[in-house]
C-alpha cells in the first residue's frame, strides 16, 4: 500500500468515495496480512464499515518522487533484517 496515516492526511484532498463510474466505494472487510503496522492503520481508516472521509486516494495525484522515496524506505528496511 505504501501509505500511512500521515500520507492519508497529506493527500486527503485527493480522497474519493466513488469509483470512476460514479458507484459508491464500499467498505472492505478484507484483512491484508502483509501490510506494515502503519499501513494497516491507514487501511483500517479508509476500509472501515463506519464513517470515513474517503474510501480511496487517487494515487495518480501522488507525486512519483514521494512514491519512489517510500518504496526505497521499505526496501532499505527489508535489507536491514
18-71: pLDDT as tens digits: 999 999 999 998 999 988 898 899 999 999 888 899 999 988 888 999 889 988
| Residues 5-21, mean pLDDT to the nearest whole number | 93
Query: So what's the pLDDT on residue 1?
Result: 65
- CA–CA dist 79, 76 (Å, integer): 5
CA dihedral 68, 71, 73, 76 (to 10 degrees): -120
Amino acid at each position: 500500500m505504501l501509505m500511512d496515516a500521515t500520507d492519508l492526511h497529506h493527500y486527503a484532498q485527493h480522497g474519493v468515495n466513488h469509483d470512476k463510474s460514479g458507484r459508491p466505494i464500499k467498505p472492505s472487510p478484507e484483512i491484508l496480512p502483509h501490510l506494515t503496522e502503519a499501513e494497516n492503520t491507514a487501511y483500517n481508516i479508509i476500509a472501515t464499515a463506519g464513517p470515513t472521509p474517503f474510501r480511496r486516494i487517487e494515487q495518480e495525484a501522488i507525486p512519483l518522487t514521494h512514491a519512489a522515496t517510500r518504496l526505497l524506505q521499505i526496501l532499505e528496511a527489508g535489507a536491514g533484517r
